[in-house]
Amino acid sequence: MADKLLEIRNLKKYYGKGDSEVKALDDVSFDVYKGEMLVLLGNSGCGKSTLLNIIGGMDSPTSGQVLLNGTDITSYKDRELTDYRKEKIGFIFQFYNLLPDLTALENVRMSLPKKDNEHLSEKTLELVGLGDQKMHQYPSQMSGGEQQRVSIARALVKNAEIILCDEPTGALDDKTGRKILELLQDIVRKQGQTMVIVTHTTPIASMANRVITLRDGKIQKEVVNEHPVDAKDIVW
């Protein structure tokens, strides 16, 4: 068994009070292991994006713990959370979240503590298939698939402990989406990157090492895929 990287313990997230109280997360516990691809699967409103935001330090729970390498991030102050997001977490969003006035290369370089580390940014963009002139283009000059590759490079370049993906193919057509999934799976398999993907799409779950299904803020079931499907073979 691989080492535990992340431990989620009795996580609760409630909104409102009394009769209007909504339990977005209701006593959720699980572990994430180094080098695995974990999918959080469920319909809209099941709590999966809330869970991802809490893991990423962008939201706080009502109660419970999120431990990265044994350290509880829910006790962090604002400054510590900022450093945690910068140094430990890579984010890949559905709508890319690129800065429109910066080139692909500049968007990736923004993730690095040292702004002068251009060589690493270039190498990472080449890794995701955006070498040569593409890296000097602005988001408005790029297709959705290319913009998502920039987003992936931005998450990869800082050597984050864990990459969090929120519906990474949600804004893409099936063909482009499959290419992005191939790239993500390749990163996990060849680089040993740990990745958590939130999706409502069951076929995407077939490529993961493990799948946790959420419903109404609770874990409904957990499945281990002994033989994950290659992303190129996913049937939509």
Domain region containing 144: 97-159
Strands 71-72, 63-68: pairing is antiparallel
Residue numbers of the chain with a pLDDT score lower than 50 = none
Q: By the 8 A CB rule, do 131 and 174 touch?
A: no
DSSP secondary structure letters along 156-185? HTTT-SEEEEESTTTTS-HHHHHHHHHHHH
* Residue 214 covered by a domain: no
pLDDT at 115: 58
Pairing of strands 162-166, 195-199: parallel
Q: Confirm whether 134 is domain-assigned.
A: yes
Which residues, other chains included, contact 68 with Cβ-Cβ below 8 Å and sequence gap of 6+?
A: 5, 6, 84, 88, 161, 162
232 within some domain: no
Q: What is the pLDDT of residue 44?
A: 86
CA-closest candidate to residue 31, choices 193, 168, 212? 212
Position 234 scores a pLDDT of: 87
Residue 46 lies in a domain: no
Domain-located, residue 117: yes
**Is position 92 within any domain?**
no
Identify the pLDDT of residue 131: 85
Looking at residue 25, its pLDDT comes to: 96
Q: How many distinct structural domains can be found in the chain? A: 1
Residue with tokens 């080098």: 35
Q: Is residue 182 part of a domain?
A: no
Q: What digits encode the pLDDT tens for the residues 146-167?
A: 999 999 999 999 889 999 999 9
Residue 119 lies in a domain: yes
pTM metric for this prediction: 0.92
